[in-house]
Amino acid sequence: MYSESVKIQTVLVPAGAEYQAVKSGLSRVPNAPELVAIPAGPQGVKTFLETRSIREGGVLLMGLGGSLTPELSVGNGVVIEKIWQAAGEMFACDRTLTTQLAERLRIATGIGVTCDRVITTVAEKKRLGDRYSASVVDMEGAVLLKALPERAIAILRVISDDCQDDLPDIAGAIAADGSLRPMYLALSFIKRPLSAIRFIRGSLKGLKALENVAFALF
């Protein structure tokens, strides 16, 4: 499926539900690549990469992401070609791997932007999309590319929330080290119950699509 020079040897996935979804997909695949759980969020990923080496070969970052465009709905996959850090620095993914993934899965490619928190409002998503001409937002991609500039890296995101509805105020639900603050999350859901229901449904749909993509890819 891949040339030897860019064969994916390692799949990185944020710990928790995303990791479990990809693990379930890969469990049905013989000789699957190494699956590694990483912390969620930029600071957690940065610390992780400073203390852990990634095996040689191509690297794929998988997980959920937020849509910044009406063209990407919940459950859609997108392979990122290049990604901006919200501070303004841009990084490019490996072109060969990106093309191979998009063709293999028959899904769109797009531009991403990495933020240090969950983006919860329609207005802020629109500002990000317009500023960076981006279609998806995540919390780890640019950090990974910056930390490993010489490696062949691809990024694949599955949409869990669209650009047309506000989320509950969960921006502070992920701590700097990547751990989840369950009490903060619960209080946010209580304050915005309808948004919480929509968010949970989107997450579940995205996670199932993420599992299926992991299986289909390998």
Average pLDDT score, the chain: 91
**For range 82-99, the mean pLDDT:** 93
User: Around Cβ 171, how many Cβ atoms within 10 Å?
Assistant: 17
**What pLDDT does 168 receive?**
85
- What's the rounded Cα separation, in Å, for the pair 193 and 103? 39
pLDDT, position 4: 46
Q: Cα(132)–Cα(45) distance, rounded to whole angstroms?
A: 22
Structure tokens at 55: 């095996």
What percent of the chain stands above pLDDT 70? Answer: 96
At residue 156, the pLDDT reads 98
Mean pLDDT computed over 103-113: 96
Q: Which two tokens stand for residue 12?
A: 């990185």
Q: Among 188, 57, 54, which Cα is nearest to 117's?
A: 188
Query: Rounded to 5 degrees, what angle do the CA atoms 179, 183, 188 make?
Result: 105
Compute the distance between CA of residue 186 and CA of residue 180 in angstroms, rounded to an integer: 11
The count of domains in the chain is 1
CA distance 208 to 18: 9
Among 2-11, 36-45, 174-183, which range has the highest average pLDDT?
A: 36-45
The Cα 201–Cα 45 span in angstroms is 27
Residue 178: pLDDT band with limits 50, 70, 90: low
Residue 103 has pLDDT above 60, yes or no: yes
| pLDDT higher than 90, residue 184 | no
Residue 176, pLDDT above cutoff 80:
no
Q: Which domain CATH number covers 177?
A: 3.40.50.1580
Q: What is the pLDDT of residue 5?
A: 57
Q: What is the pLDDT of residue 203?
A: 94
Task: Kindly tell me if the per-residue pLDDT of 8 is higher than 60.
Answer: yes
The runs of H, that is alpha helices, within the chain are 17-26, 42-51, 95-105, 122-132, 141-147, 182-191, 193-217
- Does position 2 have pLDDT exceeding 70, yes or no? no
Q: What percent of the chain has pLDDT over 90?
A: 78
What is the sign of the dihedral through the CA atoms of 99, 161, 145 and 87? positive
Find the domain containing 79 and state its range: 4-217
Tokens in use for 149?
Answer: 């500039």
Q: Which residues of 187-202 are buried (b: 16+ CB within 10 A; e: fewer)?
A: ebbeebeebbebbeeb
Task: Please give the span between the terminal C-alpha atoms of the chain, in angstroms, as a whole number.
Answer: 9
40-90 pLDDT tens trace = 999 999 999 999 999 999 999 999 999 999 999 999 999 999 999 987 899
Give the C-alpha separation, 130 to 111, whole Å.
Answer: 12
Q: State whether residue 5 is helix, strand or coil.
A: helix
Mean pLDDT computed over 118-125: 94
State how far the Cα of 159 lies from the Cα of 14, in Å rounded to an integer: 15
